[in-house]
Amino acid sequence: MIPVKGYSGQQVAVLGLGRSGLATAVALQAGGAEPLLWDDSPEARLKAEADGFTLTDLTRHGALDGVAALITSPGIPHLYPAPHPVIARAFAAGVPVDNDIGLFFQSAASSEWAEMETPPKVVAVTGSNGKSTTTALIHHILEVAGRPTQMAGNIGKGVLSIDPPLDGEVVVLELSSYQTELARALTPDVAVFTNLSPDHLDRHGGMGGYFAAKARLFTQGGPDRAVIGVDEAEGWFLAGQMAQGPMDDRVIRISSGQKLEGFGWSVFVRKGFLAEWRKGRQVASVDLREVKGLPGAHNHQNACAAYAACRSLGLAPKLIEGALHSFAGLPHRSQLVGEKGGVRFVNDSKATNVDSAAKALQAFPKIRWIAGGLGKDGGIAGLKPHLGSVVKAYLIGHSARDFALQLGDTPHEICETMERAVARAAAEAVAGDVVLLAPAAASFDQYPNFEKRGEDFTAQVRALIG
């Protein structure tokens, strides 16, 4: 645990008692503060009381009198579409509002760090897509390199629940826009921006607010090194804002598809080969085509980001290359479940929208595609340009028939259930095919979440291939 500094002997309000809220309460107590806890959900309040916490109704008048700060959970709106009443009251009373990420950066460093041979470092990853894979990949490479490392944030533990970092340790954080937008302290040693596509726009008041929330990771404290994906205009803008000029190697520009040779430091992929360029010359190259845990252009972008972050920490190219090959991928994100008779089975249940499904469909040449679920506005019409690699679609769930109407000449079969879809796809697949679950739809018609859907796919595949 990271004890929170700066509030000893003071009352600190905590709004939201999920994983991060309860971890924050424990960390505040460890730092000598008195947490005042509240959640709008009666179930969450009961759980907190069962864990031994005393509740304080922060919604009543005067509840914030004398409070040093209000710490809020990421899922609670503080500005758009409207601030939570308790947060609005805190703003009106001049009470600072923060979150657990801000407390982490405020509290992580200790006096012992000055005595360490290699003080710990923090790598923080944000972006629209690929955050989890990039974070896990950096963590994996560090583990293979023998560097002590912990992973936290949106993946792994809550940030205040990790152990105090050791000599030479690297803490790798995945941070969402909800987390970066409000944190009062954001001071990673290495900050990574993967990409940007529309998401959470109601929460951020539009695309500009969404990008601004991500950009705070770079502009709020100024990392020693910035790894920035420039496959969108916002990435080029952010890199330009951070760098003193094109040869400023404190900024590492990354891309999946663009040649980036005219910069102080860049990492890019073209035709499956990752290239590292420094000051006008190529210094390393990695063939990503046979890295099974990272298929497709979107994963090649993740590989660029992780490679650049690890190079900035001093790891050698050959070591990173070896670690890329041993990376198994994250569950439900282009996860190779198994292979039999030359047929691969890939679980991308996280592909819940057209954008993410499009990336999955571009990752393989011959696909037997399992899709469907609770379709979103527009269905799969936006996937029409990406259906050329689909040998046949096997449709499941509530939107199966709607999806069938949008497939045009693409062969398809309405299977309704995962069990039948996997069985039919496996029976018809030949060597070289990939049976791909990339639903392009939410899971809630048949499963409580995308994880359970992916687990069902995995179970059906393993039962078939043994």
Binding site for ATP: residue ranges?
A: 127-133
Contact by Cβ (8 Å): 359, 300: no
What is the rounded radius of gyration, in angstroms, for the C-alpha atoms of the chain? 23
CA 459 to chain CA centroid, nearest Å: 25
CA 324 vs CA 274, 307, 351, 434: distances in Å: 12, 9, 22, 21
User: 177-216 in b/e burial notation, b at 16+ Cβ within 10 A?
Assistant: bbbbbbbeebbbbbbbbbbbeeeeeebbeeeebbbbbbbb
User: 333-364 in b/e burial notation, b at 16+ Cβ within 10 A?
Assistant: bbbebbeeeebbbbbbbbbbbbbbbbbbbbbb
Which residue numbers belong to the known binding site? 127-133
| Unique residue bearing structure tokens 């995995």 | 458
Distance (Å, rounded) from C-alpha 207 to C-alpha 264?
30
Which H helix or E strand runs over 93?
helix 85-93
Which H helix or E strand runs over 371?
strand 367-372
Residue 295: what are its φ and ψ, rounded to 5°? -80, 145
Contact by Cβ (8 Å): 31, 166: no
Beta strands 273-278 and 11-15, pairing class: unpaired
Residues 6 or more apart whose Cβ sits within 8 Å of residue 74: 20, 99, 176, 178, 179, 182
Q: Sheet containing 69-72: which strands, arranged edge to edge? A: 34-38, 11-15, 69-72, 97-98
